[in-house]
Homo-oligomer: A and B are copies of this chain.
């Protein structure tokens, strides 16, 4: 899943960028293991797309891409896989025949709920070393760290 260094150079090991990358490696390793075991071959793109469809209702592929931050071409590929598993349906928008309307199916909703459970369990594993107060702090700090990004992407 991940080969952590056994010592790590001193100039590297306390730098925030390094800690962030190790934290990400740990988190994404656990996530990958979870998808591997319980995700039926789906990955994070699929999960994000199912979640977006469930929460925002039917949407075009371009809108899904913009909403989830996934590139149009990757949306196409991921939706093809979801469609082949009958988790979503694609139909041509009658008002704009170039556009597809993507809808989540009942089976897709079911799959999404299962993935929700798996992913919730992984949050717990990732944060296990922290107390509840520390978890809240950690989350709040990341939200603050990312607020600038959100603002800039609004414009």
Q: Can you give 9 A-B contacts (C-beta < 8 A)?
A: A3-B71, A5-B67, A5-B69, A9-B51, A9-B56, A12-B48, A14-B139, A19-B139, A20-B142
Q: Using Cβ atoms and an 8 Å threshold, which residues of chain B touch A138?
A: 16, 138, 141, 145
Q: Using Cβ atoms and an 8 Å threshold, which residues of chain B touch A80?
A: none
Is the beta-carbon distance between A129 and B145 smaller than 8 angstroms? yes
Kindly specify which of A21-29, A86-94, A95-103 makes contact with the partner chain: A21-29
How far apart are A62's CB and chain B's nearest CB, in angstroms? 12
A78 at interface, CB cutoff 8 A: no
Q: How large is the interface on A (under 10, 10 to 19, 20 to 34, 35 or more residues)?
A: 35 or more
Contact digits for A114-142, partner B, Cβ 8 Å, 1 yes 0 no: 00100100110011111000110111011
Q: Using Cβ atoms and an 8 Å threshold, which residues of chain B touch A22?
A: 142, 146, 149
CA–CA, A68 and B11, complex, Å: 12
Q: Using Cβ atoms and an 8 Å threshold, which residues of chain B touch A19?
A: 139, 142-143, 146
Q: Using Cβ atoms and an 8 Å threshold, which residues of chain B touch A143?
A: 19
A37 at interface, CB cutoff 8 A: no
* A130-B116 in contact given A4-B153, A16-B139, A67-B5 (Cβ < 8 Å): no
Contact digits for A51-70, partner B, Cβ 8 Å, 1 yes 0 no: 11011100000000011111
